[in-house]
Amino acid sequence: MLTLVAFAFVLGVLVFVHELGHFVAAKRVGIRVLKFQLGFNPTLVSFRRGDTEYSIGALPLGGYVKMAGESPEEVAQDEEGRVALRSDEFLSKTKWERFQVLIMGPVMNLLTAVALTALVLYQGTAVPVYEDQVPVVGAVAGDSPAAQAGVRPGDRILSVAGHDVDTWEKFTIAIGTRPDREVRLGILRDGREISALVTPSSDNRFGIGDIGVMPDVHPHIGAVNPGEPAAQAGLEPGDLVVAVEGKPIIFSFQLRDAIASRPETPMRMTVMRDGAERQITVTPARAGGIGRLGIMIADATRSYQPGPFEAVWMGAERNVQGAGLIFQTLWGLVTRETSPKQLMGPVAIAQLSGESAELGWIALASLMASLSLNLGLLNLLPIPVLDGGHIFIMALEGLARRDFSLRVKEKMLLAGFVLILMLMVTVIYNDLTRISWIERLMPWR
């Protein structure tokens, strides 16, 4: 139930601000709005105020603003069959005025993305310290694509598929957007440049590429409870946990899993203290069927608390970076560098909405910011049926210095509809493959 409520809320807000942009712009230039609807039929609630009917549909998968005189067949004709435009109809307005109406929907989504990101950042945030460090390999997972390609700890990754990567964040994005596709890594090893071919795996829900390399970082012990196993074994606050039973520990969740899986079983921990490695054997106590040491574990992070204006500026910067990644992904789909498996549809968005809602409003707002950015940019694509497609057609008419015939526009809109339909089939298929019991019914997978 939480998933459905969160999904309806997330999509409802994003669609509302999008359609509100169209609505306000239309009213501002004097266009009569016939209907403002959230969701699709059947209609749940409806009322009329002035010329406009306001309604909410039962299916929260979109919405629309219906304006008077949007298409030639809706425009009244005189006795001789000539078009008789009223001054408050869409087609009676200049191309500049129509452009304002069309563009304001996506613009409202982009502004919403910036506002939500700024709100989240204003609460204060912590990010892993390694994200903006150079990608020097700290550990390589056994039997991973990187291990099979000969990547070693200490290697400095210079490039992925010919694109320079100077931070772990850029490396993660470059690999993550190329699952199941062979890519060439540029590597600096012992002062000389070499290359390696590697195929990122996509063994995760959203098809994100991974080659199994990890940064040279380790979680640290923040606090030790007196009298519990960790204190009795000699672990101290500030210890860096390097390995458990010889297996490298990079992130805090790996250490938590290792402890939880060994109740009442001695485990050998390698810790770094005062610049020297120490071997400590500790036996987790059993608590509710899982192991417990009595320690607080934390990853190395850097925190910052921006002021309101700084948060807005940072929010804008982050969305510009996100926009670049979205366009990179779209171009990757065209050049076949990016897998279509990474595209998400309504089922995946619903799942993410429910998971984010369980984590709290900050996680939910972050998700909404990301979705709003995607919605705004995708609606600007020059695909007929979308806002960007209508703008593109008007631009072509402006260059040709004449309006296209109704037949030509219908063919363009049909082509756009087919393209959008193919995209919807793809994302819904992807969504279904992420549901384990449905995937088991697909013998070809």
Instruction: DSSP for 223-239, please give it.
Output: EE-TTSHHHHHT--TT-
pLDDT given at position 58:
85
CATH no. of 220-289: 2.30.42.10
Q: Do the domains spanning 130-213 and 220-289 agree at the CATH topology level?
A: yes
Q: Do 362 and 120 touch, CB atoms closer than 8 A?
A: yes
Residue 419 host element (H or E): helix 406-433
pLDDT given at position 29:
93
Q: Residue 76: is it exposed, middle or buried by C-beta count within 10 angstroms (0-12/13-18/19+)?
A: exposed
Which CATH architecture group holds 130-213? Roll (2.30)
> pLDDT for 374-407, tens place per residue?
999 999 999 888 999 999 999 998 888 888 887 8
C-alpha 27/C-alpha 67 separation (Å) is: 10
Looking up tokens 């549909």 gives: 57
pLDDT given at position 107:
96
Residue 19 falls in the annotated catalytic set: yes
Instruction: DSSP for 366-381, please give it.
Output: HHHHHHHHHHHHHHTS
pLDDT given at position 28:
94
> pLDDT for 170-192, tens place per residue?
999 889 888 888 899 999 999 99
Q: Which of 248, 138, 156 is nearest to 196 (CA)?
A: 156
pLDDT given at position 126:
76
C-alpha 234/C-alpha 224 separation (Å) is: 10
CA of residue 241 relative to chain centroid, distance: 32
Three-state secondary-structure class, residue 31: coil
C-alpha 24/C-alpha 19 separation (Å) is: 9
- Taking the complete model, does pTM exceed 0.85, yes or no? no
- Tell me how far CA of residue 438 lies from CA of 135, 434, 441, 443, in angstroms: 38, 8, 5, 10
> Among 19, 79, 236, 337, which one carries the catalytic annotation?
19
Which stretches in the chain have pLDDT values below 70?
72-84, 203-205, 435-439, 441-445
pLDDT given at position 189:
93
325 CB contacts (<8 Å, ≥6 apart)? 173, 177
pLDDT given at position 197:
94
Domain ranges of the chain: 93-124+306-445, 130-213, 220-289
